Amino acid sequence: MVPSACCLGFGWGTEAQDVVLQGQGGKPDLILSYHHYRPGPHQPHVPSRRSPSQARLRHHRLPSQAGPPPVTIEDSFAQIISVGDACEAAFRDRLAAVLQEYSRDADAHLLEIFQVATSLSVPTLALRTGSAACFACFLAYPMLCEKGYLPVKGTSCCCCAVQHVLLLLADSQLDLPVAELPPYRVRDLMHIGEPGHHLMPELLARAVAAVNISSGLILDTFDALERRELDRLRRDLAVPVFDIGPLHKLSPDGDSSLLRQDRSCLEWLDAFPPESVLYVSFGSVAWMSPRHLVETAWGIADSGVPFLWVVRPGLVRGCAPEMGDTRYVEHVWRVGFEVGGDLERGSVEAAIRRLMTGEDGAEMRARAGEQKKAAAEYAGKACSSRMAIDKLVTHIMSL
């Protein structure tokens, strides 16, 4: 079976990058893996259980770049940029060897990997796990800097999962709308404060360049959720855009976690009635300071609401970038709200009570239920996500 396309996945905060070589029929045949740091004893890497379809894949590990996890957001961005240089030669050699093995050339946020694949005539597909709105910000970033929206002057980013940012400018300035990128305000734009601003344009420009030299962009979203943003991307990009989400509905049995899943909490959770337990997760990207961890913990505890809190390794480090998602959550999808100001236990407690017992919290949960239903419908047979996947497979076969 001859590989015909290369699918490259990106994700903020990921510890590993997987490159999937597609075989004939659109099914993956081989994965090249690259780990850009070795987890320490507090961050064990435990291979997750693989499904039968994953088990048949051949995995080739590229040389790892030794070193501790980044401490600051500036360190993290610099490391992401350095990963491409570190793995370019190894990836070129391994990919060339794979193509030689098949006896002919393939017809077919790591820019160098896309460049290597292109130089070897292997078409690439860029997979991004973020929203269409997020990538639209990537595309708009040069314009935002040119027009003076960024860097946000006089700010020091201190962000966690509830989008907390310490603002040193007048609120009247930060609340100005960004006319070129609605519904954002200045405060919602992606930034890490002035000290590390020089890294952000380079990082985002590399991500955009990788997509532009690929044969298509794959997003884990769907039309009913981000129709306007998807239309914008299809207008601004020269490559096709495939919205094949929600992937967790299309492949619910998949297990791609780099860490062993702890399911011991499920029995405890099942003892509570529906919609009575608060689920707290900071995702795979957000960092927070020890003080913010303490304030969040006390706020949750003082609310008196039963809770299940996922505290992942590496959560407590320092600062994290402002990603702008809160504006969509609160004002577009209307399924949540921002906790403004400096993060403290009183504001966390008030937000939890509003969400769990307030009238507007009930309305948010109802809208979230509607979106859940829409996602399930989009993942059903003969629906948009299925048709998008069919188009993607047809596109892969044509490469």
Of the segments 147-161, 256-270, 274-288, which one has the largest average pLDDT value?
274-288
Amino acid, single-letter form, for residue 356? M
Query: What is the Cα–Cα distance from 168 to 310, expressed in whole angstroms?
Result: 31
By C-alpha distance, which of 103, 22, 97 is closest to 399?
22
Between CA 91 and CA 63 the distance in angstroms is 9
**Could you state, in order of their start, the residue ranges of all structural domains in the chain?**
5-134+196-259+375-398, 265-371
2 close to 23: Cβ distance less than 8 angstroms: yes
Q: Give mean pLDDT, residues 177-199.
A: 80
Of 84, 198, 102, 91, the closest CA to residue 141 belongs to 198
19 with 113: CB under 8 angstroms? Answer: yes
pLDDT of res. 98: 64
> Over 80: is that where the pLDDT of 46 sits?
no
User: Which of 52-66, 152-166, 240-254, 382-396 is predicted with the least confidence, judged by mean pLDDT?
Assistant: 152-166
- Residue range 74-93: mean pLDDT, rounded: 70
CATH number of the domain at 5-134+196-259+375-398, out of 2.40.170, 3.40.50, 3.30.460, 2.40.440?
3.40.50
Q: What is the spatial distance between Cα 130 and Cα 12, in angstroms, rounded to a whole number? A: 8
For position 156, what pLDDT does the model report? 45
pLDDT reported for residue 1: 43
The predicted structure's pLDDT at residue 130: 84
What is the arithmetic mean of pLDDT over 133-156?
83
Instruction: Please give the residue that has the higher pLDDT: either 170 or 71.
Output: 71
Give me the mean pLDDT over the 341-363 stretch.
Answer: 91
Residue 381 has pLDDT above 80, yes or no: no
Q: What is the mean pLDDT of residues 350-371?
A: 93
Which ranges of the chain would DSSP assign to H, the alpha helix? 52-55, 73-101, 111-119, 132-146, 171-174, 199-212, 223-236, 247-250, 265-269, 290-303, 325-327, 345-357, 359-378, 384-398
Worst-scoring range by mean pLDDT, 18-27, 356-365, 374-383?
Answer: 18-27
Straight-line distance from the first to the last Cα atom of the chain, in angstroms, rounded to the nearest whole number:
15
| pLDDT above 70: residue 185 | yes
**Short-list 40, 78, 336, CA closest to 195:** 78
Average pLDDT of the chain to the nearest whole number? 75
239 has pLDDT over 90? yes
According to the model, what pLDDT value does residue 61 have? Answer: 59
Contacts (Cβ under 8 Å, ≥6 apart) of 182: none
* Model pLDDT, residue 190: 80
Paired with 30 in beta bridges are 21, 58
- Asked whether the predicted pLDDT for residue 363 surpasses 90, the reply is yes
| 5-134+196-259+375-398 and 265-371 agree in CATH topology | yes
CB within 8 A of 187, min separation 6: which ones?
Answer: 152, 165, 167, 174, 175, 322
Q: Which residue has the tokens 């495939």?
A: 242
Q: What is the pLDDT of residue 32?
A: 46
Q: Per residue in 62-74, pLDDT tens?
A: 555 556 666 666 6
Residue 313's pLDDT is 80
Partner residues linked to 61 by β-bridges: 33
Q: Convert the pLDDT of each residue in 294-334 to its tens digit.
A: 999 999 999 999 999 988 887 887 675 566 678 899 999 99
Distance in angstroms (rounded) separating the CA atoms of residues 195 and 190: 14
Domain boundaries 265-371, CATH class:
alpha beta
- Whether the per-residue pLDDT at 133 is higher than 50: the answer is yes
SS3 223: helix
Alpha helices (runs of H) in 259-344, residue ranges in sequence order = 265-269, 290-303, 325-327
Confidence (pLDDT) at 71: 66
Q: What is the pLDDT of residue 63?
A: 57
Could you identify the residue written with the tokens 């855009």? 241
Q: In the prediction, which pLDDT does 3 show?
A: 47
